Chain A
Amino acid sequence: DTEVTQTPKHLVMGMTNKKSLKCEQHMGHRAMYWYKQKAKKPPELMFVYSYEKLSINESVPSRFSPECPNSSLLNLHLHALQPEDSALYLCASSQEGRGKPIGAFFGQGTRLTVV
C-alpha cells in the first residue's frame, strides 16, 4: 500500500464552523506533513510531524490546529476560517522527518471552500 488517503475530498464550510481534515497512511512512514496550495501556485508547507511530535510550524495562524493521534493518522482542525483560506490542502508522508531526504508521498488533497 503506497497511498496517502485524505478525507473529505471536498469541503465547504462557513466562517463560524469547526471542521477537520483527515489523512491516513499505512506505509510505516514516521513523518507527516500538511501543505496548502492556492490556485495556480506551488504547495506551501504548513506543519511537519516527526515521530508523532510537531517539529515544524511555518507560522501558521492558530485557526489551523494539527493533530497526530498516531503514526498513521494526521488531522487538521479548522475553526473560524476566512475566505482567503480556501485552497487545496495536501497531506504527505515520508520515512523520516530528518536524515537523507527521499521525497514525500502526497494524498489527493481536500478542496476547501470557506464561505
Chain B
Amino acid sequence: AQSVTQLGSHVSVSEGALVLLRCNYSSSVPPYLFWYVQYPNQGLQLLLKYTSAATLVKGINGFEAEFKKSETSFHLTKPSAHMSDAAEYFCAVSESGYNKLIFGAGTRLAVHP
C-alpha cells in the first residue's frame, strides 16, 4: 500500500525565512503526490501536484516541491515565508488508478515576526 510520512508535526520559521516541509513516500509504483494547505476551520486547498512530468513542480502562493526518486521524497519549499502562510500542510499520495488520496499526518507551520 502507498503511504506518505511527514517529518515534523510542527515547524516554526521567521517571516522572510526559507520554508521547508518534509514528505517521504512509500510506493511500489510511480506515485502521484500532492501538497494541500488547510487554514483554520477551512477545507483543503491544492498547492501543487506531481504526476510524473517535471520533477520540480511549482504551485500557488510561491510554493514549489521537488520529486526525488532516489530519496523517495517530495519536500515542499518556499524561499520567503509570509505571516499568511501559517497553516496546516498535508502531503498526500494517490493510489494508482484512483483519485483516492492518502494523507500524511500533517505539519503545522507557524510564522513569527
Which residues of chain A have a CB within 8 Å of any CB of chain B?
A: 4, 6, 31, 33, 40-45, 48, 56, 90, 92, 94-109, 111
What is the interface of chain B, defined by CB distance below 8 A to chain A? 32, 34, 36, 41-46, 49, 51, 90, 94, 97-106
A102 to B49, Cβ gap below 8 A?
yes
Whether the pair B49, A99 counts as a contact (CB closer than 8 A) is no
Residues of B within 8 Å of A92, CB to CB, are 44
Q: List 15 A-B contacts (CB under 8 A).
A: A40-B106, A42-B106, A43-B44, A43-B90, A48-B100, A56-B98, A97-B98, A100-B32, A101-B51, A103-B99, A103-B101, A107-B43, A108-B43, A109-B42, A109-B43
Q: How far is the CA of A56 from the CA of B99 in the complex (A)?
A: 11
Q: What secondary structure prevails in chain B residues at the interface with A?
A: strand
Max chain B C-beta neighbours (<10 A), residue from A40, A92, A103, A105: A103
- Cβ-defined contact, B49 with A42, below 8 A: no
Instruction: Name 11 extra pairs, CB < 8 A, besides A42-B90, A101-B49.
Output: A41-B106, A43-B90, A43-B103, A48-B98, A92-B44, A97-B99, A100-B32, A102-B49, A103-B34, A104-B99, A107-B43
For residue A58, which residue of chain B has the nearest CB? B100
B51 partner, pick from A4, A94, A100, A109, beta carbons under 8 A: A100
> Nearest residue in B to A95 (C-beta to C-beta)?
B99
